[in-house]
Structure 1
């Protein structure tokens, strides 16, 4: 039996959010509010002080953010297995970007791929 080569099937990979870069907390809040108005959604929870969320669809970074054009967040069910799978295929990760879960479990919450695609940084994150 051949192992799947589809990370959507293997890890439940799906779009988590689109990341938009801004320079200040005020600009990020205004941008998030504009997306909320456009999409008809409420502001999302803001678990990190560097961003504002429009629901869970758009993360607006207030510190310039990663990626020349922003970032794309991808949810996976098992971040460690997904990272190992990508690495087996030669994809590199930016270990300096590894962020641990805020619950103190020591599990990885987020990690960026090393290379951007079309100016977008891309990260894996665990599904809530």
Structure 2
């Protein structure tokens, strides 16, 4: 991977794509463990629990996978305002996107895509979801 410190001042992806942390993902051992973890975050931050097929969410901040998900330690999702342009920018700067991980909205536009490399044991994905 390239070093983001090599970017020109006007090439800051955070500014270019209004990037921010959308959520942090934690890998649990099983559904009961996932629910317990999300309940703890819910109590800590007064966040509602939401269940989806692969995971539980504490609000929109923390996703706990019902079984090991991507990344050795979990994943971090970054929201961007234009996922296709952001992917092109990162690829132009030496970061490989795992296009096989792409998830689409019903209209066919990209909703989520992971990078190929982990950082610090975390899988990293870009998302258009807020």
Report the TM-score, using the length of structure 1 for normalisation.
Answer: 0.89
Of 25, 28, 32, 2:34 maps to: 28
Q: Indicate the SS of the match to 1:23.
A: coil
How far 1:40 sits from its partner (Å)? 1.8
- Could you tell me how far apart the structure 2 residues matched to 1:72 and 1:22 are? 15
Matched residue, 1:98:
102
Once the two structures are superposed, residues 64-84 of structure 1 have per-residue CA deviations (whole angstroms, 9 ceiling, x without a partner) of 011111110000011000000
Matched residue, 2:56:
52
- Could you tell me how far apart the structure 2 residues matched to 1:53 and 1:127 are? 14
- Could you tell me how far apart the structure 1 residues matched to 2:114 and 2:56 are? 19
- Could you tell me how far apart the structure 2 residues matched to 1:90 and 1:20 are? 27
Matched residue, 1:111:
113
Q: Indicate the SS of the match to 2:22.
A: strand
- Could you tell me how far apart the structure 2 residues matched to 1:96 and 1:32 are? 28
Matched residue, 1:15:
21
Report the TM-score, using the length of structure 2 for normalisation.
Answer: 0.88
Q: Indicate the SS of the match to 1:4.
A: helix
Of 61, 65, 68, 2:72 maps to: 68
Unaligned runs of 5+ in 2: 1-7
How far 1:4 sits from its partner (Å)? 2.2
- Could you tell me how far apart the structure 2 residues matched to 1:96 and 1:30 are? 31
Tell me how many residue pairs correspond in the alignment.
123
